Chain A
């Protein structure tokens, strides 16, 4: 099975996040943390309208996690005089994003947040491996993978959509192997902006260099015209 990849990146100023959500969804997303709003924007960008009702999975990682939400909750609990507001507690739980997204994206069948342990780098290796596994075994026809981070200064989302649609010439597809990379494909770092690197890369083949799970070779290969 050939797994097609669609990379996509989005950088937003926090003040424009709400407008971006309204533009993407046609409605505001009320009482949603920035990471949830970023997830909604990206999923709507990557899924065709007909795909939004069909089963898909969302695997997302984050370096900062719900940092601002956690600080707000800590202030309420430790310095405040009463119980926190329920939503302020829920916002510290990344799992809540799925519940806010499923009414908008009825096909969302599984969502999983993987917080990262290191301040630098990412773990696309694990996300892509797990997503490919589900595609190969027919669990889903589409899996969205993302790295999401929101801070008071900027909101950043990097995405890769994995699907089994026919490949367009020049588009990336995923090659997984349990053996070491067989040729001299240039390396690409496992960093949050991997999708942006794929968009700008000119190579025909790239090998993912990751600190995580070094036991599987992950390569990105551009599809070539049939001969």
Chain B
């Protein structure tokens, strides 16, 4: 008998605030202007954590300590599952050439663990924008199998010129706003976030009911246009826990304003729900796309909103794209969500789906 896995604690530092409650309140208020405030952002619109000052390491430590402050008490031996796509490249940018990088590429995870007060096993995951899904799944499986009782899953993405320049070079960024599913969508905006969840076999108001990951390598950076593989992944995830699409009260979509990926995801949603769609929420217009941290950051932000009984509106959506044929939830509203589906897509064809259920809604 596998054990259930619950969300027992959470912390976040992102452009919208330095705690889950602050982020939830900011999302409820609806602000979404990007906030450039650090040198790494190349004068491109970007969702910085404006209140973090100093060099890369100082900002990293401050962010992690903000996260630790709301994560709850941690036993030092608690395992850390670390997710990132850029790791410490922002720190390397400040080194003079020739650069002497550490031999082990995930060595910064040990420093971050120390800042969290952890000295247990440390596992890292680099599957681009679905890194958080990989880390969550690995941690959850160990808890479900009775190997560990608690785990910290940390998503980490701090501003750096290398990532931003790479996205600019590939023509994936919007010059102004991320507009998920909107007719005028013209690309993503990136952001930084450090966010963590404390998973437990015993405590927590939300259960991570099911998680699946898959691969859709239609192109290096985009899914199959008809969305069929995304839909199949979501169905697989729901089937694991005997839920039907109609049971879902909410979908936290991946969509961030990418012309091709948003279209594929929308087609997957049509396949999954037909004409009876639940509210669709995208957090990327408010947080930016936080890449390797996005799954954890958006999980923390979403549950903080739902715990307040709030469903924020999706910022920056104004005109339905006829080809997409659906719209994100624009107006904020009160919502007592029981079951939510969270989708993530990434470079290299990575896909992640997660079903989250409120504990009191379970039999």
Contact = CB atoms under 8 A, between A and B. Distances in A.
B124 A115 contact: yes
Contacts of A17: none
A88 to B, nearest CB: 8
Given A78-B161, A103-B217, A213 B121 contact: yes
Interface stretch (A45-53, A105-113, A152-160, A161-169): A105-113
B347 A109 contact: no
B215 A111 contact: yes
A71 B215 contact: no
A113 B126 contact: yes
**Which residue, B101, B166, B349, has most C-beta atoms of chain A within 10 A?**
B166
Contacts of A212: 121, 123
Interface residues of A, number: 58
Interface string B155-191: 0000001110111111000000000000000000000
Interface string B101-130: 111111101100000000001111111101
B125 A102 contact: no
Nearest to B146: A178
A97 interface: yes
A75 interface: yes
A216 B147 contact: yes
B217 to A, nearest CB: 4
A211 B248 CA distance: 41
Contact of A110 (B79, B148, B215): B215
Contact of A63 (B99, B105, B145, B346): B105
Interface stretch (B47-55, B62-70, B134-142, B265-273): B134-142
B106 A112 contact: no
B243 interface: no
Contacts, number: 174
Contact of B169 (A83, A114, A216): A83
Given A71-B99, A98-B215, A112-B127, A117 B110 contact: yes
A117 B99 CA distance: 19
Interface of B: 79, 85, 87, 89, 92-93, 97, 99, 101-107, 109-110, 121-128, 130, 134, 138, 141-142, 145-148, 161-163, 165-170, 213-215, 217, 219-221, 346-350
Interface of A: 62-67, 70-71, 73-79, 83-86, 88-90, 92-103, 108-119, 123, 126, 129-130, 133, 178, 211-216
Given A93-B85, A114-B124, 9 more contacts: A63-B104, A74-B89, A90-B166, A113-B125, A113-B126, A115-B126, A117-B107, A130-B138, A130-B141
30 contacts: A63-B103, A63-B104, A64-B103, A65-B105, A70-B89, A70-B101, A74-B92, A77-B162, A84-B162, A88-B166, A90-B170, A92-B162, A93-B128, A95-B130, A98-B348, A98-B349, A99-B215, A102-B349, A109-B214, A110-B213, A111-B215, A114-B123, A115-B126, A116-B106, A117-B104, A119-B103, A178-B147, A213-B147, A213-B148, A215-B148
Across the A-B interface, give the 9 residue pairs with the lowest CB-CB distance, nearest first. A89-B166, A65-B105, A95-B348, A99-B217, A115-B106, A102-B217, A95-B128, A119-B103, A83-B169
